[in-house]
Amino acid sequence: MKNKLFVGSLSWSATDEDLRDIFSPFGEIVSANVVMDRETGRSRGFGFVEYKTDEEAQAAIDALDGTEHMDRPIVVNVAKPMERR
């Protein structure tokens, strides 16, 4: 499935709600999370947005990849499974 997106180069102050606001025009969002550092509680500068369908996710990639949010150009692409360490 290609309905889960990686969102990189986020502002350190970006929140889950910010992601929902940015990505909601493109479809029904299942989840939107900014990844936080466990020790500091600060954003790690990336997050994930999951849509109900692959088509909605692709529309968001097409519209948002490379656009600016909070004065930073964001990267939006299909999330890849985490590699084993």
Domains in the chain: ranges and CATH: 4-78 (3.30.70.330)
- What number is the average pLDDT over the span 10-17? 95
Tokens at 51, concatenated: 């849509």
Task: Dump pLDDT digits (tens) for 18-50.
Answer: 999 999 999 999 999 999 999 999 999 999 999
Q: Which residue in 55, 59, 72, 70 sits closest to 15, CA to CA?
A: 70
pTM: 0.94
* Confidence band for 81, pLDDT divided at 50, 70 and 90: confident
Kindly give the pairing relationship between strand 4-8 and strand 68-69: unpaired
Give the rounded percent of residues in the chain with a pLDDT score beyond 70.
99
Q: Is the pLDDT of residue 83 over 90?
A: no
